[in-house]
């Protein structure tokens, strides 16, 4: 029996002795005596068999002491492969339009915002494409854009037809929130939309600067007003508020967090930090400087230490699912019927893997690259990594770029390198609760 290589033993002067196991996501507070025993086992000073039965059984149950590390590794590998090739459901991300009524400073579409909307013919072909998956147990759609609400009629029409194909249908919408009017909010149940994601990038002045409406000065108050109506109608539906952080708004995160939690007490609102990502270049651009992993980690920990605010989960989560780009039955559909694997590819002709207007896939090589090329399951560094179970290897888009275009994007988990600080913060949150 050996001390699992996925154990992380640490001592905090202030809070005591701890053990975390990344493969099974177990976090245990230890006595000093237990900590010393584990240090001795780790350093091969004593063998596990020599410790008392009760403690040894606990260690075995939690897989702190294992026969070998490979069993745990294969379990996670198998579950990831299963999730990747599970074809029992169909998950689509549909952009019915690329047009947008905002002009965000960091938008992936740049300043062009082509006014491309889905036509009736493309809608018809998309429904034919979906009908090919008539054996799946469920269908889910994420409405995306541009701003999807600019094409609400298309969303209504597609929803009606998809519900007729498969009654087990659910939807999610990523919207800037501006056009989320009372009529549309009243309709959400009929559209099977259970959760909205809205981005608010700071308090009023900052948000309006970073996410301006194309003609109106204010978008912040309009979004807040729409959220008020949403929560007056729904108790169970959720709004996820994403705050895209860069160096221009990091100091406002806690203010916005307080503002929203005070304004919407006891409502299903989940506020979290995203980070502005520059997908086009390999470094900061002039508009916003992208945070590296260390900056993200520092931001998250400082928000907690200084303001008592949690921006993302501090405690790792076992990662068994995969990004849509790496799932066999997940597709992103552009307004002209282009089929993609990654959200970030929408609108780029050369990144299409097919088109709903065509019967054959046009770029199956790109599809298989996303599925199994630049694969963390094949990457020696990931295979040997302590974080393997809680990091699915990062964004497949960047992994492919690193492999085939010689970029050096960091794909590692934010917690890597600062694990004891994140675990200590988690411990404090649990203790306060
Ligand atoms: S709301 Fe979204 S699509 Fe519209 S400009 Fe902003 S980032 Fe781009
Ligand atoms: S490959 Fe990366 S950018 Fe594309 S959808 Fe997945 S996580 Fe997002
Ligand atoms: S991407 Fe980085 S943190 Fe994640 S498993 Fe691979 S080496 Fe580890």
Task: Assess contact for 309 and 253: CB atoms under 8 A.
Answer: yes
Ligand with minimal distance to 381 CA = 3
Residues 94 and 29 in one domain: no
Residue 47, CA distances (Å) to 39, 57, 68, 177, 280 in order: 11, 14, 15, 60, 53
Is 145 near ligand 1, meaning CB less than 6 Å away? yes
Residues 179 and 233 in one domain: yes
Residues 18 and 157 in one domain: no
Per-residue pLDDT of 343-353, as tens digits, reads: 999 989 999 99
324 alpha carbon to ligand 1 midpoint, in Å?
A: 21
Q: Which two tokens stand for residue 238?
A: 């959720």
Residues 56 and 77 in one domain: no
Q: Which of 13, 35, 68 is the last residue of a domain?
A: 68
- Please say if the pLDDT value at position 53 is more than 90: no
Is 298 near ligand 1, meaning CB less than 6 Å away? no
Mean pLDDT of 370-389: 95
When pLDDT is cut at 50, 70 and 90, the band that residue 322 belongs to is confident
Q: Which of 14, 49, 68 is the last residue of a domain?
A: 68
Q: What percent of the chain has pLDDT over 90?
A: 83
Is 323 near ligand 2, meaning CB less than 6 Å away? yes
Residue 27, CA distances (Å) to 8, 19, 198, 414, 426 in order: 9, 6, 33, 18, 10
Residues 292 and 360 in one domain: yes
Q: How far apart are CA 114 and CA 425, in angstroms?
A: 45
102 alpha carbon to ligand 1 midpoint, in Å?
A: 6
Instruction: Please state which of the ranges 62-71, 99-108, 291-300 shows the lowest mean pLDDT.
Output: 99-108
Residues 43 and 179 in one domain: no
Residues 212 and 63 in one domain: no
- Please say if the pLDDT value at position 111 is more than 70: no
Residue 277, CA distances (Å) to 274, 280, 292, 410 in order: 9, 9, 10, 12
Q: How far apart are CA 420 and CA 144, in angstroms?
A: 37
Pairing of strands 193-199, 338-340: unpaired
- Please say if the pLDDT value at position 195 is more than 80: yes
Is 374 near ligand 3, meaning CB less than 6 Å away? no
- Ligand 3: nearest atom to the Cα of 391: 4
Ligand with minimal distance to 412 CA = 3
Give the domain CATH number at 98: 3.20.20.70
Q: Which residues of 174-208 are buried (b: 16+ CB within 10 A; e: fewer)?
A: bbbbbebeeebbeebeebbbbbbbbbbbbeeebbb
Per-residue pLDDT of 113-133, as tens digits, reads: 788 999 999 999 999 999 999
**pLDDT value of position 433:** 67
Is 146 near ligand 1, meaning CB less than 6 Å away? yes
Ligand with minimal distance to 394 CA = 3
Q: Which domain holds residue 45?
A: 2-68
Strands in 26-30's sheet, in edge-to-edge order, are 7-12, 16-21, 26-30
Residues 242 and 299 in one domain: yes
Is 103 near ligand 1, meaning CB less than 6 Å away? yes
Task: Assess contact for 288 and 106: CB atoms under 8 A.
Answer: yes
- Number of domains the chain contains: 2
Mean pLDDT of 195-224: 94
Residues 235 and 303 in one domain: yes
Residues 53 and 167 in one domain: no
| pTM score | 0.93
């Amino acid at each position: 029996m050996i001390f699992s290589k996925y154990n992380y033993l640490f001592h905090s002067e202030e809070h005591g002795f701890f053990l975390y196991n990344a493969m099974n996501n177990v976090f245990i507070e230890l006595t000093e005596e237990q900590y010393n025993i584990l240090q001795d086992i780790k350093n091969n000073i004593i063998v596990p068999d020599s410790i008392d039965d009760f403690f040894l059984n606990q260690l075995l149950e939690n897989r702190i002491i294992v026969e070998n590390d490979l069993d745990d590794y294969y379990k996670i590998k198998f579950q990831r492969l299963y999730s990747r090739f599970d074809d029992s459901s169909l998950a689509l991300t549909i952009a019915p339009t690329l047009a947008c009524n905002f002009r965000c400073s960091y938008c992936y579409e740049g300043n062009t915002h082509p006014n491309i909307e889905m036509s009736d013919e493309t809608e018809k072909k998309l429904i034919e494409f979906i009908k090919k998956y008539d054996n799946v147990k469920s269908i889910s759609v994420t409405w995306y854009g541009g701003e999807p609400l600019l094409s609400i009629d298309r969303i209504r029409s597609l929803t009606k037809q998809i519900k007729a194909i498969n009654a087990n249908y659910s939807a999610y919408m990523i919207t800037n929130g501006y056009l989320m009017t009372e009529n549309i909010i009243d309709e959400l149940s009929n559209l099977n939309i259970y959760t909205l994601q809205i981005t608010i990038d700071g308090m009023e002045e900052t948000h309006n600067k970073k996410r301006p409406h194309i003609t109106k000065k204010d978008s912040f108050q309009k979004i807040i007003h729409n959220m008020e109506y949403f929560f007056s109608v729904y108790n169970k539906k959720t709004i996820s508020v994403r705050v895209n952080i860069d160096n221009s708004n990091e100091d406002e995160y806690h203010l916005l967090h307080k503002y929203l939690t005070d304004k919407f007490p006891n409502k299903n609102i989940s506020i979290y930090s995203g980070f502005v990502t520059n997908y086009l270049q390999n470094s900061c651009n002039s508009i916003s400087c992208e945070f590296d992993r260390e900056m993200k980690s520092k931001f998250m920990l400082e928000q907690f230490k200084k303001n008592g605010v949690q921006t993302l989960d501090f405690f790792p989560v076992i990662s068994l699912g995969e990004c849509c780009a790496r799932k066999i039955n997940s597709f992103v559909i552009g307004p002209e019927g282009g089929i993609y694997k990654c959200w970030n590819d929408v609108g780029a002709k050369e990144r299409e893997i097919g088109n709903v207007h065509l019967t054959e896939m046009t770029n199956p090589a790109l599809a298989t690259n996303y599925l199994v090329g630049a694969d963390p399951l094949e990457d020696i560094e990931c295979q040997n990594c302590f974080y393997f179970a809680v990091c699915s290897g990062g964004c497949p888009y960047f992994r492919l770029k690193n492999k085939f275009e010689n970029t050096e994007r960091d794909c590692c988990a934010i917690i890597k390198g600062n694990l004891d600080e994140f675990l200590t913060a988690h411990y404090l949150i649990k203790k306060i609760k």
